[in-house]
Amino acid sequence: MKAAVLEAYHQPLAIRDAEISQPGLGEVTVAVKAVGLCLTDVHISEGKIPTVKLPLITGHEFAGVIDKTGPGVKDFKTGDRVVVNIDVICGRCDHCLRGETNRCSNLIRIGFERNGGMAEYVNVPAINIEKISEKVPFEKAAIFPDAVATTYRAMKTIGKVSAGTKVAILGIGGLGMEGILIGKLLGAHITCTSRNEKSLKWQELWERITSSTQLKRISLRRQGSTLAVMPLSLKRSRFWVPGLPIEVSFVRS
Ligand SMILES: [Zn+2]
Ligand SMILES: [Zn+2]
């Protein structure tokens, strides 16, 4: 199979022929149809993730079709459309037993400490996959387990956001944009902040898409360890963000 391999830090990925073994016990082989490029992939390529060993096939946001199933796999079959959760956990450490699997003491992440989805095929544990509908395009499904699920859990599960909740999203990067859309679906009132004008232009775009949310223009400047607000107009109010050690002011544009 062909794979994009990170062979050296600060170098482009090399397209190589790579071996793919038969899926092991409890594993499936996924034929990758779409793979996302995360900022973390850039950090990996710059040698900033100490647990990464080269050479590595990166790619931790991907979706595809099951090509083969290994021994012991009963719930999936060849041809199933799937997305892949990146965390391969031990299931027996204190964190796993408490349900905090993202903090597993023996965590191995697909695309970090084992080969990922920048390849035609990748073997992953069947317990890490979820089926997706025919209606969901692979390129959209690919980011569900990482960017979308991260923000969804933060807002819905941990933050208990529901209709009418006032939500402040600090920073309009990839996760912030997901947060706007998820917050909109949950019926929340969204206020976004950004320290640079370019991101605020994105905010304006999302404001048009999510017209019923209450987005406000705001610009923040970092002062020491706190964030100071630079108002863009004169109508101004203030609020505390629960759980965060900062006070945010915002203004209506
Ligand atoms: Zn990522
Ligand atoms: Zn564990």
Q: What is the pLDDT of residues 114-167, one digit of tens each?
A: 999 999 999 999 999 999 999 999 998 998 888 888 888 888 888 888 888 888
Domain of 214, CATH number, reads 3.40.50.720
* CA 86/CA 104 separation, integer angstroms: 13
Ligand nearest to C-alpha 106:
2
Residues 138 and 178 in one domain: no
Helix or strand run (H / E) with residue 124: strand 121-125
Phi first, then psi, for residue 78 (nearest 5°) are -55, 135
Ligand nearest to C-alpha 43:
1
Residues 25 and 46 in one domain: yes
Ligand 1 centroid to Cα of residue 42, in Å, is 10
Residues 130 and 160 in one domain: no
Residues 175 and 127 in one domain: no
Taking CA atoms, 115 is separated from 49, 103, 119, 120, 236, in Å, by 15, 20, 9, 12, 50
Taking CA atoms, 207 is separated from 18, 162, 181, 249, 253, in Å, by 45, 19, 10, 19, 12
What pLDDT, in 10s, does the model give residues 10-60? 999 999 999 999 999 999 999 999 999 888 999 999 999 999 999 999 999
Residues 55 and 129 in one domain: yes
pLDDT range class, residue 84, cuts 50, 70, 90: very high
Residues 90 and 109 in one domain: yes
Residues 115 and 19 in one domain: yes
Ligand 2 centroid to Cα of residue 86, in Å, is 14
Domain count, the chain: 2
- Of 88, 121, 142, the residue that ends a domain is 142
Residues 69 and 109 in one domain: yes
State pTM to two decimals. Answer: 0.75
Ligand nearest to C-alpha 61:
1
Task: Retrieve residue 167's tokens.
Answer: 């939500």
Instruction: Report the sign of the C-alpha dihedral through residues 157, 158, 160, 165, in that order.
Output: negative
pLDDT of residue 121: 97
